[in-house]
Structure 1
C-alpha cells in the first residue's frame, strides 16, 4: 500500500474501555508523607509499627516468596474461626476488606442490580458497585452524621441485592447501635445481603455499635466485613475477611482473584491475632488521645459528633475546608479533605495530635 493509500484509508478501530470504567470516579488515597517532619494523618493507618510478632512472622516466611501462597488461606481461616467462634467454612479472605467487598458485589450483583449505602461513607463503595455494572443508591447521612436507616429501608426496590452499613462510619466516625440495626434487619427482605462493614471496630467503645456476631447468628442475610489494615497495622500487606453464611462465603472465595492474599500477609495476620492483647493496649492509647482531642476541641468551640474510629471528622463547607487545608499543609500535616463535606483527621501519637490541635485552635469558630 502506498503512502497516499495509507493516508486516505479509514482509521482502524481501537480498543475502548467500557463505559462503566470511563465514567468511574477515581479512588483518592490519603496523601503520602514526603519528609521526616510530615505528620501523615490522611489514611487512618496505625501510627504504630506492625506488632513484633507480625514482623517476625513475615521475616520467617520471606524465604518462601518464590512459592505461591495458600489460595484457600486454610491456616488463617482456621485461626479466625477460633477467634470469632464460627466455622472456617463461614469465612472468606481477600486483599483488605475492600478486596473482599469487591468479591461480595461481584458475587451477588448482576448488571442493573442496586446496592444501597449511606453517603458520605467509604469512598470505594460507589466505585466497586459501578464497576460491577450495578447501580449505587446513595442515602444522605442524618443530621448527626450517621446512617438514616429509615431512608435506607425506604429506598429498597425489587432490584436491591446488597445494603452496606459502615459502623463506625468512615469518614464521620459515627456508629450504628445494635438495636437500630436489629430493627432494620427485621424491616428489609431476607434475600438482601446486609453487609456490616466494621473496618474500625477495634477502636469503638464497647456497646457503642452492634454485636455483629450476634446479629449474624440471628439473621442469615448478615455478612460481617473486617480488616487487618487498621488496628492490627497491616495496611501494606492487604488482608481482610468476611463472615457469612457458608454458601455465601463459598461464593466469595470463588470470586476472589487467585492468590490475592500473599503468604506474608496470611502469616502476619495469624501472628497478629495471637498478639491480640498487645494490639488492644495500643488501641487503648489511641482511644485516650481521641477523647483528649475531642475534649479540647469542644472547649475551643468546635462541634464534633463523637467518633468511634481512629479519626476525627470536621463538617466544613468549602470555604472552611479550604482554609483548614491551607493551614494543615503549611504546618506539614497531611489530612483528608472531602469536597463539599469536611475534613477527616487520623488520631496518631500525642505530638502529632498536639500539632493538629494548635491548627484547629487557631481556626475555631
Structure 2
C-alpha cells in the first residue's frame, strides 16, 4: 500500500467523522491489509517467535481450541497502547492458526509446550511488521483536510486503512500508516488456563449480505471463538469470489461461526443476525445496496435443535410486524465452501476493531 494525498478520505477526530471525498463502493480486490499480513491472508515470517522457553505438558498445535491469558509488552516491559490494537488481550479463547488476533500469536502458540497456570515468556520478532517508508510519514496538503485536526487523531484512508496524524501546520498535515509498533520486537507472556480442546464447540452458519461486515459482528460477540467467511448453498463445488458475485452459482455469501455454547446461545447468534439485518430482513435478495441472490440472507441450520431455535426466532420477530413477511431463509445447510484467504477477517485486517463487545460502527466498505 503506497500512500498519496489522494488516499486520505476520512479523519476520525475524537468521535467526529469528516469526509474528504465520497466513499468508494465495495472493493473487488484484496484487503487493504495491515502490514503484518501477507497478501494471501497468512502471517509473514517476520512475526515468528524468536525465543521460547516453554517446556510444558500440553503440546499446542494448529486447530487446537485454547483458553489462555496473554499480554504483549515492549521488550522494556512497557504495556502497549490498547488504542492501537484491533484485537483482545488478556483472557481470550481462540483456535490456533484460524485467524484473528495477531498472526505472531498464532505462530508462537503453534508447536509450543505449555502447562496450565504456568506463565511462559517469549520474544516476538517485529510482530507488527517492519516499518515501510511507503506508508509514511507523508505530507498531505492542509487544504485537503478539515479544520480542527490535531496530532494523534486517526485518519481513515480511501482504501480502508487508517493512519495517525503526526503533525499539523498551515501548509500540511503529516500522516503515518505504519503501525505504532512496526519494527519493534515485543515480549509475549502467555498462560494456558485449561487443557486445550477441553470444551466442545458448536458450529453455525449465517448469511447477511456482505460477509465482511457480518463476520466482524460475530467476531465481536463474546463466546464466539472462530469465524470464517465462505459461500453457502450453491451447486458449484469450487466457487470463486468472482463467480459467486456474478449471481449465477446459487451461493450466498455466508459466515461460519464456531462458538462455546456455555457462553453464548444459538438463539443469541440468530438474534445478532436479525439485529444486523434490521429492515433488510423484509427485503428479498438484498441487504443495503448489495442486491442479487448472492446477498440473500439466511440461517442455515445443521440439526433439528438449531432448526427449531431458528424458526422460533423468526416467528417471534415476525410477531413484531405481522404485516411484513420476514424473508430471511431458514434452511438446512446443504453446502459450504471457505472463501479465499484474503477475505478472512477482512475488516479487522483493514484496521477495524474485533474486540469483544466493541460498539464502534462497522464500516463494510473500509
The structure with the greater share of residues assigned to helix is: 1
The structure with the greater share of residues assigned to strand is: 2
The alignment's TM-score, normalised by the length of structure 2, stands at 0.23
The alignment's TM-score, normalised by the length of structure 1, stands at 0.23
Indicate the structure whose relative CO is greater, using CA pairs within 8 Å and at least 6 residues apart.
1
